[in-house]
Every structure is written in structure tokens, then in C-alpha cells.
Amino acid sequence: MVVVLCWFVALPVIMALCIFSAETIFGAVRLRSAKLSGDFPVTTILMPAHNEAEILQDTLERLAPTLTEDVQILVVADNCSDSTAQIVKRSGFAVIERMDPMNKGKGYALACGRDHLKSSPPECIIILDADCQIDALSIEALAKTCIARNLPIQAKYILKADHSARPNVQISNFAFWLKNVVRQRGACRLGGPALLTGSGMAFPWTMFEKAPLDTANIVEDLALGIHLSQTGYAPIFLEQATTLSAAAGESATFGQRTRWEHGFLAMAKSHGLSLLGEGIRKRNRKLFQLGLHLLVPPLAFLMLAGVATLILLGLIMAMTGYWLAFAVVALCLIIAVVAVLLNWIIEGRQWLSFAALLRLPLYLAWKLPVYWRLAKGHTAEWNRTERPNDAGHKH
């Protein structure tokens, strides 16, 4: 009975740690750049914007040199109470205003933009958040690859490195890079699909016009990627295209990660095992890999779960003398930590200083309220992420 109990506790953690380690080890080295060919497709950059007056002017000024006859921009000023729409108009770009307080969220804004474009649709749609930067080469790579492959494409979406930020923010930004880049590379090399990460996403119009966008799901990008994978259009990760965003401050980072992690865990609960089963039934490697990926919780949750399981198995070992399950979990946890450190050494140091790395145990404690709220049944809702340069914003 003791042996059965130990392995019942250990196996879920062992599986999650093994999947995570495989993705991070296979993702430690950058992917090769794809060769681009063909004409530049007519492309619209669709930008949902909710009360972005403080940063939108700068975003539009950075985008302006990348726009041509083939590349246009459409901003959806969604439920704005500030001058977002007026700033876009003064800059000479297209904007539509949407007011529907009962249906808030990025998905509804994207659906509104799609409806506006239906009368004269482009060949390719690129979704870009209002706080993000993208260059002309990345736009070209996204658009050409999207049309050539007739599949959704996800750019490398990262946060600006800032060693002057508080340690918790640095660790969170490092975890963001690990999720959005390293594990994407690993999933690609292992034969799985890319995850859509919200900004720097490109879609053929024929696919975008049918996508289930009008939803209040707080992880609508993840849900959309799962839907497309299930319908035979698994997204591709394109590392040579980059989308860059400034990191939020500490309190906003906490809220932002809470929202994403609650949403991810909910999607994992509802889709993880079912995707594994669907992948096996259909002999579809991409669906199987996607199911495996969803079985791995966010990094902090994974490490906390590993340590908690190790402590529990250690107590059982002390009382009964049964040590094998404890040893296997310990080995898997060590391998996962080594894989993280390997990626930090290779590339991750730009997001995370050594001094901040030493604060990792305190970061895990900082994240405990996120999971405590989830355990109590309090899930996060969609809201705009505050940024350091917002008027009146404090951290």
C-alpha cells in the first residue's frame, strides 16, 4: 500500500518534470532561420488597444517606417475611456472604436477588427499588441511564411531585458522567455506545434475569418492555438521574427502572471488529457505533444510542486524506509533545475542577473498567493496590464 501511495503521488510530478526537461534541453539552441521566397502578401497589422494613450503614440511612430502599400495597420480602440482613438487618427492611421462594456477582452476586439476588414480583406493578418515593437524584417518573415505554409505563425515574443528591475520582475521575465522561446524551440524539435502567445501572430485571412475570436477567455491566444491544432492547422514557431515588449512593474507583473497562469491551468485541466487521447486515437503527433505540453504547469508551480512532493515522499521514506519514489523525483527535479541553469548560462543571463537568480526561493514564496487563490476557486479576469510609464502608476 505504501509503494502504491508513493508512486500515485510521484508519477504526475515525474511526468511533468520530464516533459519540461525535454523541452528546455531540446530548446537550448536557437532554430535555423527559414528561407523566404515569393511576393510580399497584402498584410494588415491588427492592433487591439484598450486605454493605451500613454504608449500608443510611440508604438505607432516605431511602426510607421515598416508600413507600405502592402502593409497597413488597423487599430481597434476597445472600450476606451481615454484618447486612444484620437491619437491614432492624428497619426493618420485607420482606427475603429468599439464600445461594449458587457463583452470585454482582446478576443472581442479582434473579432470587431475582422468584421471591419471583411469587405476588403488582406491576404495576411498580423496581431500586434499596442505595447509591442516589431521591425520590417520580422513583418516580412511572418507574412511570407504564413502565406507560403498556409498556417498560423508565432513570432518570438520576448520582454526587454532590464537588470535594474526588481528581482521578482527579472525572474518573471526570464520565465516568460523560457516559456515563449526555449520551450517553443523544444516543442518544435520534438514535433509539436507552437503555442500562440498573443502578440506577433500571423494568420492567412482564409483561416482568420473563420477563427473563434469573440470570447472572454483570459488566455484566448492559447485557446485559439488549441482549436487550430485540432482542426489541422497547427501553428509554427518562427524564431527569426521578433516581437518585443517592455516588462511591467512588480505589482502589474504579479497581476499579469496571475491572470495567465490561472487561465493556463484551467485550459490544461479541460484539454490536457483529452488532447493526449485525441493524439493517440488519430495518430497525430502534434496533438499528442500539445497534450503533453499542457500537462506541465507554469515554472514556479512546477518547482513548488516538485519540492512539496519531495518533502512528502521524504517523510514517508523516514517512516517506512521506502526510498525509490523519493530518489526518482529528486533526480527529475535536479535534471529540471540543471536544464534551467543551462539555458540561463547560454542565453538567459540577459533577462536575469546572477544576484536576482539567487532570489529564486523568495520568488517562489511570492507566487504562493497566486496558487492559493486558485485553490480557493478565485480565478482571474481579463484586465489591462498596467505599465511603468502609465500616468500615475506606482510600483
User: Model confidence at 254, in pLDDT bands (50, 70, 90)?
Assistant: low
**pLDDT given for residue 185 in this prediction:** 96
Grid cell at residue 52: 493605451
CA nearest to 63, candidates 40, 43, 36, 38: 43
Is residue 124 within 8 Å of residue 241, measured between CB atoms?
A: no
Q: Give per-residue burial for 244-266: e unless 16+ CB within 10 Å, then b.
A: bbebbbbebbbbbbbbbbbbbbb
CB within 8 Å of 347: residues ≥ 6 apart: none
Grid cell at residue 389: 510609464
Q: Tens of pLDDT along 272-301?
A: 899 999 999 999 999 999 999 999 998 988
* Long-range contacts of residues 70-74, Cβ cutoff 8 Å, at least 24 apart: 70/40, 70/41, 70/42, 70/43, 71/40, 71/43, 71/44, 71/45, 71/139, 71/143, 72/43, 72/44, 72/45, 72/122, 73/44, 73/45, 73/47, 74/44, 74/45, 74/46, 74/47, 74/113, 74/116, 74/117
Angle at alpha carbon of residue 111, lines to 149 and 96, rounded to 5°: 115
Provide φ and ψ at 236, rounded to 5°.
-115, 140
Q: DSSP states of 76-100 as a string?
A: EEES-SSSHHHHHHHTT-EEEEE--
Q: Tens of pLDDT along 128-173?
A: 999 999 999 999 999 999 999 999 999 999 999 899 888 888 998 9
At 113, the amino acid letter reads G
Return the CATH number of 43-270, one of 3.40.50.2300, 3.90.550.10, 3.30.2180.10, 3.40.350.10.
3.90.550.10
Average pLDDT for residues 231-257, to the nearest whole number?
84
**pLDDT given for residue 389 in this prediction:** 53
pTM: 0.89
Q: Tens of pLDDT along 293-345?
A: 999 998 988 999 999 999 999 999 999 999 999 999 999 999 999 999 999 99
Q: Tens of pLDDT along 82-116?
A: 999 999 999 999 999 999 988 888 899 999 999 99
Is residue 279 within 8 Å of residue 286, measured between CB atoms?
A: yes
Grid cell at residue 285: 503527433
* Adjacency order of strands within the sheet including 153-159: 94-98, 71-78, 43-49, 124-127, 201-204, 153-159, 236-245, 132-134
Average pLDDT for residues 362-382, to the nearest whole number?
69
End-to-end CA separation in angstroms for the chain: 51
Average pLDDT for residues 199-208, to the nearest whole number?
96
Average pLDDT for residues 361-379, to the nearest whole number?
73
Domains in the chain: boundaries: 43-270
Mean predicted lDDT score pLDDT of the chain? 89
Task: Give whole-number Cα distances, 260 to 53, 138, 223, 224, in Å.
Answer: 24, 26, 12, 15
pLDDT at 76 over 60: yes
Helix intervals (H) in the chain: 2-26, 53-63, 84-90, 106-117, 136-149, 167-177, 183-189, 205-208, 220-230, 250-282, 285-294, 299-320, 324-346, 354-357, 360-375
**pLDDT given for residue 326 in this prediction:** 96
At 18, the amino acid letter reads C
